[in-house]
Amino acid sequence: MVARAHEKISNARQDFLHKLSRKLVNKSQVIVCENLNIKGMVRNHKLAKAINDCGWGMFLNFLEYKCQKEGKVFFQIDRFFPSSKTCNNCLNVVDSLPLDIRTWDCPSCNTKGIDRDINAAKNCRDEGIRILFSSGTGETAKGRNVRQRRGRKSTVVAVADEFGSQHSTR
């Protein structure tokens, strides 16, 4: 009886994840995810049940194979990319940002109330666009804040300027 209940919950979870991944793949040409250390996060006894319950790893697997099947682009941003700690407006990286702080203020550009999750999503999007431009497949990607204003120096700025000038003349 208990096994049937667990099987029903597992099937419902898989059904939801299949439907959600199909919807995302149908709506998108490119899907960028953050490569999170899920096994390490599960070691935190306060978060383990919630992380296992939502099935992040399974969801990423579904997204990846459906993108490959449809010929769409799927890639993951490096887990050490500071997506939560980087201000999306000025690209300033905060030294330390504990998990209990959900919103923060940027000391560089004075942006108030930056939500760490929304900020991380924007930074992952921008990093994904930057990677697409650097790989040569960025002509179909449209976005903002592609250029790095601070931090590591890259040749991507020249490539982004080249693509930008081509698009503006067409």
Q: What is the pLDDT of residues 120-144, one digit of tens each?
A: 889 988 988 888 888 765 545 455 4
Q: Is 139 exposed, middle or buried (0-12, 13-18, 19+ CB in 10 A)?
A: exposed
Q: Is 163 exposed, middle or buried (0-12, 13-18, 19+ CB in 10 A)?
A: middle
Parallel, antiparallel or unpaired: strands 114-115 and 103-104: antiparallel
Percent of the chain with pLDDT over 90: 22
What residue segments make up the domains of the chain, in order of their start?
1-78, 81-170
CA–CA separation, 151 vs 153, rounded Å?
7
At residue 154 the predicted structure's pLDDT band, cuts being 50, 70 and 90, is very low
Q: Which of 53-62, 68-77, 90-99, 132-141 shows the lowest mean pLDDT across its residues?
A: 132-141
